[in-house]
Amino acid sequence: MMLAELPPVAVIGEPVSMVDTPALLLDLDAFEHNLRQMAALAERGGLALRPHAKAHKSVAIASAQIAQGAAGICCQKLSEAYPFAAAGVKNIFISNQFAGPKKVAMAVELARQAELSVCVDHPAQVRALGEAAQRHGVRVAVLPEIDVGHERCGVADADGLLTLVDAIAAQPALSFAGIQAYHGGAQHISDWVQRRDVSRRSAELTAQFLRCLEAHGIRCSIVTGGGTGSAEFDVENGVLTEIQPGSYALMDRHYGSLEWLGTLQLQHSLFIAATIMSTARPGKAVCDVGLKSVAVDSGLPEVWQQRDADGLRYVGAYDEHGMLETGGDRRDRLGEPFLLVPGHVDPTVNLYRELVCVRRGRVEGLWNIDARGLSR
Amino acid sequence: MMLAELPPVAVIGEPVSMVDTPALLLDLDAFEHNLRQMAALAERGGLALRPHAKAHKSVAIASAQIAQGAAGICCQKLSEAYPFAAAGVKNIFISNQFAGPKKVAMAVELARQAELSVCVDHPAQVRALGEAAQRHGVRVAVLPEIDVGHERCGVADADGLLTLVDAIAAQPALSFAGIQAYHGGAQHISDWVQRRDVSRRSAELTAQFLRCLEAHGIRCSIVTGGGTGSAEFDVENGVLTEIQPGSYALMDRHYGSLEWLGTLQLQHSLFIAATIMSTARPGKAVCDVGLKSVAVDSGLPEVWQQRDADGLRYVGAYDEHGMLETGGDRRDRLGEPFLLVPGHVDPTVNLYRELVCVRRGRVEGLWNIDARGLSR
């Protein structure tokens, strides 16, 4: 006898309480609000918006962002870009370094399909890519990364940047398109004023690099960077030409816990649907969302209290179990559904096959997480 | 123009240094050593071995375990069991509670295909499953879980257990097959003697439950529990009839760091192949293995020093970046491949599509991680 297919996690039209769990829910009203907020912010500032697909990994979401005026997308890995290129996303920036012949071959393949730009911080990356691109007759735009305070990737000084600009100029198949100036740390500062100040210092550093390029007669058509946490300052600072926020569309407990004093007001649109599946111990319960269904690197998920979650607290994660304190002693809560807000959106989304899109309590659609697990 | 398929992560026959990264490598010699070690341990103790598939999620590994005499497998989630049942694994125990009609429907479907047994700790679970099983003409074996010190799931006392036994007896489509007595915490105690003592106390508690059942004329054909950390004590304690270790086949940094003073000597067989992709900062480097390629809930991965990793230390994880200290200042390490041992096997394996099987430095095969992401 053949085994039936695994049943779908949700059926369009059913109430959200009937969705199988664990499931990743997307509240479409909140999601659309977030898309409008960020598009309006970028437009007011006269900046291009290039949302980061590493947060959602979903062609449907990228398409919605592009339909609202996004200039293209960022991907963080070459393999991650494949489903977007295959789906017809025309303009893709790999906002991260890569090394080795297998990676270069992927970049060449992507450049056949899309307008590809990539990030570098070492002349050897430029040479390897340039030679392969020329051999295969494709063109790639290259943006050296500068370190604007994050201390991760990127050249630290103008000499390093000029070396990369020269290396790009020496490769006929490559073109210098501008610079990447991303401060990851700035995104996560809770205090709004402090976040603004760090973003401003990072913009000042970027401006120094730009002046040095200008002194050598080099113009940057693109200065890209910024993220969800810094976007409202990036549009004020007047240095970036393009922002690349990712988390803003979905949000998470961490971003939700930052201070937001400006006009950018984002909403939680991403939730994990969970079910209580053991109530054997007084005052405790166990749900079906553990480490394989929610990333805990930025803290545990939080029970969404705007639903009728009645005192539940998520206090610990095992591989497949989530430990709850119930604030009560009712064993009849077995089977009770509730919602969690994940601590960190990116690695959580990466655990799921699809997003269950809901509006006003009903399932409206299922969107694939096309680049799930594509980390090469 | 059509986009080419994403190239394979590895090609059979190529040297391991050519595998694309990040990749999950399985050292077949070490893996086969581990399988032999645990099979021999169970055999010496006269216990059945039912390896936990939640650790590897791979039909190929389950098949290798069954070929060496395993009695079947454990799964932790119903959806996780689907690919194993579809591949013909005949005997599957769901070693975890579940709740709700969609879950019950999955259990019924699995029971059509395999000899299914499940775990319960609430009479409502028994009723819901029993009624559905009868309606659909399938039989399910049921093992109540008892809490033997882990304080997670499972009934705390004999009354609770007897209530479940009665509830099972009231369902014609269900049969009482024994009990689940698993102490998760015992698995992770570093000190060998202390681990042995906690395992012994958990066996004594289990024996008390068994005596109470006997006093009511109830025999348990299966007493299942144990894991990688407690297995060598479980076979000595003489209470379990079956052990369910999972991590032993692959191991991880955490299990490797425990004290192992007995005959059970396991080896790291699971590695993550990584590549240095930025060397912009003196004394530091960045690799391509971040939070989406390695779980950090049990600590950061460790650079495998038996290869020529020359002083590398993994010191921090971002979504797609791994921060390294290099103990030197050579920018020419860009592109250098190296291996990591993940901190925690289960959620790390769940991030990958396949295992790249290697033996003596060459790729010997690619094994699917069939149940990746199946957490419902």
Residue B308 pLDDT level (bands cut at 50, 70, 90): low
Interface of A with B in 245-274 (CB under 8 A): none
Q: Is A105 on the interface with B (CB under 8 A)?
A: yes
- Cα dist from A167 to A101, A105, A197, B246, whole Å: 18, 19, 34, 51
Residues B86 and B205 in one domain: yes
Q: Which residues of A touch B20 (CB under 8 A)?
A: 100, 102-103, 376
Domain count, chain B: 2
- Domain final residue, candidates B247, B278, B300: B247
Cβ–Cβ gap B292/A375 under 8 Å:
yes
| Structure tokens, A154 | 């990127």
- Cα dist from A124 to A104, A364, B128, whole Å: 12, 48, 63
CA–CA min distance A373, chain B (Å): 6
Beta pairing partners, B322:
B287, B317
Asked if residue A11 belongs to a domain, the reply is no
Q: What does the pLDDT average to over A117-135?
A: 98
Q: Is B278 on the interface with A (CB under 8 A)?
A: yes
pLDDT one-digit tens code per residue, B168-195: 999 999 999 999 999 999 999 999 999 9
**What share of chain B in percent tops pLDDT 70?**
98
Q: Are A155 and A130 in contact (CB under 8 A)?
A: no
pLDDT one-digit tens code per residue, B192-219: 999 999 999 999 999 999 999 999 999 9
Task: Give which of B114, B117, B106, B109 is closest to B144, Cα–Cα.
Answer: B117
Asked if residue A259 belongs to a domain, the reply is no
Cβ–Cβ gap A153/B297 under 8 Å:
no
pLDDT one-digit tens code per residue, B91-108: 999 999 999 999 999 999
Give the closest of A110, A292, A334 to B99, CB-based.
A334
How many angstroms from the chain centroid is the CA of residue B347?
A: 9
Interface of B with A in 184-243 (CB under 8 A): 184
A175: domain CATH number is 3.20.20.10
pLDDT at A327: 86
Task: Give which of B60, B65, B58 is closest to B42, Cα–Cα.
Answer: B65
Q: How many CB pairs under 8 A join A and B?
A: 215
Cβ–Cβ gap A351/B350 under 8 Å:
yes
- Domain final residue, candidates A222, A249, A276: A249
Q: Which residues of A touch B124 (CB under 8 A)?
A: 332, 334-335
Q: Are A120 and A126 in contact (CB under 8 A)?
A: yes
State the CB neighbour count (10 A cutoff) for residue A172.
Answer: 10
Cβ–Cβ gap A3/B86 under 8 Å:
yes
Dihedral in degrees, nearest 10, Cα atoms B60, B66, B71, B76: -10
Residues B97 and B138 in one domain: yes
Q: Which residues of A touch B160 (CB under 8 A)?
A: 280
Asked if residue B270 belongs to a domain, the reply is yes
Give the closest of B86, B291, B321 to A152, CB-based.
B321
Residues B32 and B164 in one domain: yes
State the CB neighbour count (10 A cutoff) for residue B266.
Answer: 22
Cβ–Cβ gap B286/A335 under 8 Å:
no
Q: Are A21 and A351 in contact (CB under 8 A)?
A: no
Cβ–Cβ gap A121/B296 under 8 Å:
no
What are the φ/ψ torsions at residue A30 (nearest 5 degrees)?
-65, -40
Task: Give which of A231, A239, A286 is closest to A50, Cα–Cα.
Answer: A231
Task: Give which of A63, A2, A64 is closest to A28, Cα–Cα.
Answer: A64
Residue B327 pLDDT level (bands cut at 50, 70, 90): confident
Give the closest of B125, B321, B347 to A319, CB-based.
B347
pLDDT one-digit tens code per residue, B107-134: 999 999 999 999 999 999 999 999 999 9
Beta pairing partners, A140:
A174
| Cα diameter, chain A | 75
Q: Is B5 exposed, middle or buried (0-12, 13-18, 19+ CB in 10 A)?
A: exposed
pLDDT at B107: 98
> What is chain B's percent helix, strand, coil content, to nearest 5?
35, 20, 45
Residues A44 and A172 in one domain: yes
Residues B164 and B74 in one domain: yes
Residues A46 and A186 in one domain: yes
Asked if residue B259 belongs to a domain, the reply is no
Lowest mean pLDDT among B1-15, B88-102, B135-149, B323-337: B1-15
Dihedral in degrees, nearest 10, Cα atoms A308, A310, A313, A318: -70
Cβ–Cβ gap B3/A152 under 8 Å:
no
Q: E-strand spans in chain A?
A: 23-27, 48-49, 73-75, 91-94, 115-120, 140-144, 174-176, 178-180, 222-225, 242-243, 270-278, 284-287, 302-303, 313-317, 322-325, 337-341, 354-359, 362-368
Q: Which residues of A touch B1 (CB under 8 A)?
A: 112-113
Cβ–Cβ gap B376/A4 under 8 Å:
no
Asked if residue A290 belongs to a domain, the reply is yes
**What share of chain A in percent tops pLDDT 70?**
98
| Structure tokens, B313 | 């230390």
pLDDT at B272: 98
pLDDT one-digit tens code per residue, A240-279: 999 999 999 999 999 999 999 999 999 999 999 999 999 9
pLDDT one-digit tens code per residue, B244-288: 999 999 999 999 999 999 999 999 999 999 999 999 999 999 999
Q: Which residues of B touch A20 (CB under 8 A)?
A: 100, 102-103, 376
Query: Which position has the token pair 């295992």?
Result: B355
Residues A163 and A233 in one domain: yes
First to last CA, chain A: 38
Cβ–Cβ gap B152/A321 under 8 Å:
yes
The rounded distance, in Å, linking the Cα atoms of B156 and B149 is 9
Asked if residue B4 belongs to a domain, the reply is no
Cβ–Cβ gap A346/B319 under 8 Å:
yes
Q: Which residues of A touch B373 (CB under 8 A)?
A: 292, 351-353, 372-373
Q: Are A225 and A243 in contact (CB under 8 A)?
A: yes
Residue A313 or residue A328, greater confidence: A313
Asked if residue A376 belongs to a domain, the reply is no
Q: What does the pLDDT average to over A58-76?
A: 98
A318: domain CATH number is 2.40.37.20
Q: Are B71 and B90 in contact (CB under 8 A)?
A: no
- Domain final residue, candidates B190, B215, B247: B247
Residues A203 and A66 in one domain: yes
Interface of B with A in 73-102 (CB under 8 A): 76-77, 79, 82, 85-86, 96-100, 102
Residues B36 and B20 in one domain: no
Residue B331 pLDDT level (bands cut at 50, 70, 90): confident
Interface of A with B in 36-75 (CB under 8 A): 54
Q: Which residues of A touch B18 (CB under 8 A)?
A: 102
Beta pairing partners, A179:
A223
Cβ–Cβ gap A22/B106 under 8 Å:
no
**DSSP secondary structure, A210-271, as one string:** HHHHHHTT---SEEEE--TTTHHHHHHH---SEE---GGGT--HHHHHS---SS------EE
Residues A209 and A272 in one domain: no
Cβ–Cβ gap B100/A351 under 8 Å:
no
Give the closest of B7, B86, B277 to A105, CB-based.
B7
Domain boundaries, position B342: 16-25+266-368
> Does position A144 have pLDDT exceeding 80, yes or no?
yes
Cβ–Cβ gap A86/B3 under 8 Å:
yes
The rounded distance, in Å, linking the Cα atoms of A67 and A86 is 17
Give the closest of A97, A147, A335 to B100, CB-based.
A335
> Does position B160 have pLDDT exceeding 80, yes or no?
yes
pLDDT one-digit tens code per residue, A159-201: 999 999 999 999 999 999 999 999 999 999 999 999 999 999 9
pLDDT at A331: 87
Q: Which residues of B touch A376 (CB under 8 A)?
A: 6, 9, 20-23, 288
Residues B184 and B279 in one domain: no
pLDDT at A310: 74
> Does position A143 have pLDDT exceeding 70, yes or no?
yes
The rounded distance, in Å, linking the Cα atoms of A121 and B280 is 7
When scoring A96, A247, A279, A292 by the number of chain B Cβ atoms within 10 A, the one with the most, hence best to mutate, is: A292
| Cα diameter, chain B | 75
In chain B, which residue's Cα lies nearest the Cα of A352?
B373
Residues A61 and A178 in one domain: yes
- Cα dist from A172 to A109, A119, A139, A140, A160, whole Å: 18, 17, 9, 10, 21
Asked if residue B20 belongs to a domain, the reply is yes
As a whole number, the mean pLDDT across chain A is: 96
Q: Are B259 and B11 in contact (CB under 8 A)?
A: no
Cβ–Cβ gap A352/B373 under 8 Å:
yes
Q: What does the pLDDT average to over B80-85?
A: 98
Task: Give which of B208, B211, B209, B247 is closest to B226, Cα–Cα.
Answer: B247
